[in-house]
Amino acid sequence: MSYIETATMKNSTIMFLYSEREEINLSPSYQRQGGVWTLEKRRLLIDSILNDYDLPKIYFHSLDAAAASKTGKRYAVIDGRQRLEAIWDFLDGKFTLASDFEYQRDPSIDLTKLSYSDIAKRYPKIRVKFDSFLLPVVTVTTHDDDLDLIEDMFSRLNEAVPLNAAEKRNAFGGRMVATITEVSKHQFFLEKVRFGNGRYQHKEVAARFLLVEDSVREHANLVDTKKVYLDALAHKYSRDKKKATELRQSVCSVLDVMCEEFVERDELLQAQGIMVVYYLLFKGAIEAGETQKITRRKLLNFRQKLAENRETAIKQYPEASFDLLEFDRLNQQGTNDASSIKERYRILSTSLRIPALQLSGPTTTGE
């Protein structure tokens, strides 16, 4: 039976951990993305350290000999990545103290806007005090090195933290979560989409593509691309490497074609809500052997038609296209509903005269 054991790390000063940072994996598979904290939050942490406030515990997974040998790391951070990154960034001179910082031990000492190197030069005793600050690090080991227990612990520790759906799903682990990550690193996401990836937005869209691919292949229909169904997909194929690989290859083959048409940081790809509709458009054209009918210019023209139709509706409503008005409405609300995806896909493919996928039966909200 697997179980967890914890112990307090004896030598966990700031400078010791900084010197050993190459042996600490900040981004194991279950971790949330780094660099999420704002400058204000990072400064507040350094303020707390300099003023001797207690800090929340940091948890390290102590890797067994085999894992350490394979990865070159002795530890993996379960909880505390943002804190460690903030501390190390301060040591590396990437930000300074706040303009309203107050050194409570001696308010006459003005440390405002100083960097770590400034403090080291002007106030070496304070620098030594900072370096010697003992971070509350707890090491965690598991019987048989059971990663599932570590992933479960990560989820429990972050239960009170506002993780978004993609970050929570990333903590599941398993083959499908790894596949989502692989798809999110496709050239399409790295070069073409215009929205960022600060909170795993790319992974969220990649998961939707995989879910759509699975539902079309398995049921010739669509399901909602909401959290509950994306999570279900991650669990469904968590141990099915073959199926996950098949889905990844299918999705990436569509993304390869999409990459040829969209430009770098394309203005057409600045909203997540339209991404699945574009994916279906290209998938249908590929299966019909008519990808040449999809051009970026046609997509831009369609967007212009939407804008002109809105103006027409304001001036002469009966003259406006109901389909285009409906596309507008659906594109602004409930974009993850299967019915919305299906209807917008129908309107767009019809407008561009591009063969559509044959989706059987009524629109469904999951199996």
* Helix axes 322-332 and 338-352, enclosed angle (nearest 10): 140
- In this prediction, residue 143 carries a pLDDT of 65
Q: What is the dihedral of CA 26, 197, 55, 43, to 10 degrees?
A: 120
264: helix, strand or coil: coil
Place of tokens 């509709």: 277
Taking 90 as the threshold, does the pLDDT of residue 119 lie above it? yes
More confident residue, 209 or 57: 209
Tokens 């629109």 map to which residue? 363
Q: What is the mean pLDDT of residues 283-300?
A: 95
> Which residue is listed with tokens 């790295």?
190
Range from 69-73, 179-183, 207-211 carrying the lowest mean pLDDT: 69-73
Write down the pLDDT at residue 198. 73
- The two three-digit tokens of residue 243, written as one number: 């199926």
Report residue 31's pLDDT band, with 50, 70 and 90 as the boundaries: low
Q: At what angle do helices 39-50 and 124-131 cross, to 10 degrees?
A: 100
pTM here is: 0.60
**Residue range 102-113: mean pLDDT, rounded:** 92
Query: What is the separation, in whole angstroms, between the first and last Cα of the chain?
Result: 34
- pLDDT band for 131, please (50, 70, 90 cuts): very high
Tens digit of each residue's pLDDT (9 = 90 or more) over 47-63: 999 999 888 889 898 88
Among candidate residues 173, 183, 176, the one with its CA nearest the CA of residue 206: 183
Residue 187 is predicted with a pLDDT of 97
Quick check: 367 pLDDT over 50?
no
Give me the mean pLDDT over the 328-351 stretch. 91
Domain boundaries, the chain: 4-161, 167-352
Averaged confidence pLDDT in the chain = 88
Q: Is the dihedral of CA 95, 99, 105, 106 positive or negative?
A: positive
Cβ contacts of 167 within 8 Å, gap of 6 or more: 32, 33, 199, 200
Q: Are 88 and 35 in contact (CB under 8 A)?
A: no
What value does the mean pLDDT take over residues 171-199? 90
Is the pLDDT assigned to residue 299 strictly greater than 50?
A: yes
Please determine, for residue 5, whether its predicted confidence score (pLDDT) is greater than 90: no
From the list 19, 86, 4, the residue with the least C-alpha distance to 50 is 86
Residue 66's pLDDT band, with cuts at 50, 70 and 90, is confident
Residue 104 phi/psi, 5-degree rounding, is -65, -30
Mean pLDDT of 11-23: 93
